[in-house]
């Protein structure tokens, strides 16, 4: 069985939500690169982000990947065209899949986008949604990432912070906004908490799941691709199928392999990866790309 080789790039650990979503849907060899020594990307210039991302792309291409997924909202928002120009394999970012799903399910043609300061400042989601006929209000939620990385996924403090952010967003959003787009790959871990806060009419779009859906569709036309899940969960609150988490075994699912590369602390990455993937990650390689 010849499985596709998929490279996944993020500035840190948030992209692991994209990796997890793909791993639950597609049998493949996965190569995850986290540029943990140089995060956050949000404080850096477009030129710097592009240079770092292209360097990571070249490293992953050296692993003979067939497809590159930019699982970083900042890099996608600021430098996707430059990355695509430099890459020698197809490149998928996380902005278009999320906005496409939002446009598909919104009945009132209005959405709220929550993201980091850098992603909001880029207006990548707002512009992409407007091109699809969706009015959008963008809300920066800078405390969510540290709260997630602290492990406070369902903590009262996190819920209080979320209520403050979302109350403000709803008050300023277009009338009858009925979609909440999670435009940061850390945020899917907060989806159950956010589901309790927003109205029942508000659909929650998870950009990690949306990106996995796009990758699945792309690969489903290839003879060697093994699709593990035909029924995708496109947004939070949809009816979920039963899924087996990433694990060892003998089924087609277990022909998958996962390799991890980081540019900073291996031990810290392992701790955080356990929270994001719901499984222990033992084999992580430190790499130094320089620059």
Q: Is 72 a catalytic residue?
A: yes
**CB-count burial class (<10 Å; 0-12, 13-18, 19+) for 115:** buried
Residue 267: CB atoms within 10 A of its CB come to 9
55 is catalytic: no
Residue of 256, 236, 237 whose CA lies nearest to 245 = 256
Contact 31, 259 (CB under 8 A): yes
Task: Spot the catalytic one: 55, 141, 184, 236.
Answer: 184
Please give the structure tokens belonging to residue 187.
């945020």
Calculated CA dihedral for residues 62, 10, 209, 168, nearest 10 degrees:
-160
Please count the residues of the chain: 291
Name the catalytic one among 55, 72, 141, 236: 72
Tokens 């320089």 belong to residue: 290
* Number of Cβ atoms within 10 Å of the Cβ of 137: 19
Active site residues: 72, 184
């Amino acid at each position: 069985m010849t499985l596709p080789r998929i490279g996944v790039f993020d500035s840190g650990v948030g992209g692991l939500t994209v990796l997890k979503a793909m791993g639950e849907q597609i049998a493949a060899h996965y190569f995850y690169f986290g540029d943990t020594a140089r995060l956050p990307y949000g404080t850096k210039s477009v030129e710097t982000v592009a240079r770092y991302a292209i360097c990571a792309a070249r490293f992953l291409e050296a692993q003979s990947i067939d497809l590159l997924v930019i699982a970083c909202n900042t890099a996608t928002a600021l430098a996707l065209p430059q990355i695509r120009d430099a890459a020698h394999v197809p490149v998928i970012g996380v902005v278009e899949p999320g906005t496409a799903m939002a446009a598909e399910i919104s009945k009132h043609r209005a959405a709220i986008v929550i993201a980091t300061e850098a992603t909001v400042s880029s207006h990548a989601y707002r512009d992409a949604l407007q091109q699809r006929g969706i009015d959008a209000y963008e809300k920066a939620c800078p405390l969510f990432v540290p709260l997630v990385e602290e492990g406070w996924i369902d903590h009262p403090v996190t819920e209080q912070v979320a209520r403050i952010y979302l109350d403000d967003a709803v008050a300023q959003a277009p009338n009858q906004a009925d979609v909440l787009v999670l435009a940061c790959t850390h945020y899917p871990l907060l989806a159950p908490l956010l589901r309790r806060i927003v109205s029942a009419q508000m659909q929650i779009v998870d950009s990690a799941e949306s990106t996995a859906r796009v990758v699945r569709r792309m690969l489903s036309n290839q003879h060697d691709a093994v699709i593990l899940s035909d029924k995708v969960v496109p947004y939070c609150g949809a009816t979920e199928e039963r899924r087996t988490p990433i694990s060892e075994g003998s089924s087609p699912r277990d022909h998958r392999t996962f390799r991890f590369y980081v540019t900073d602390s291996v031990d810290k990455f392992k701790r955080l990866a356990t929270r994001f993937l719901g499984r222990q990650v033992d084999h992580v390689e430190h790499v130094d790309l320089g620059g």
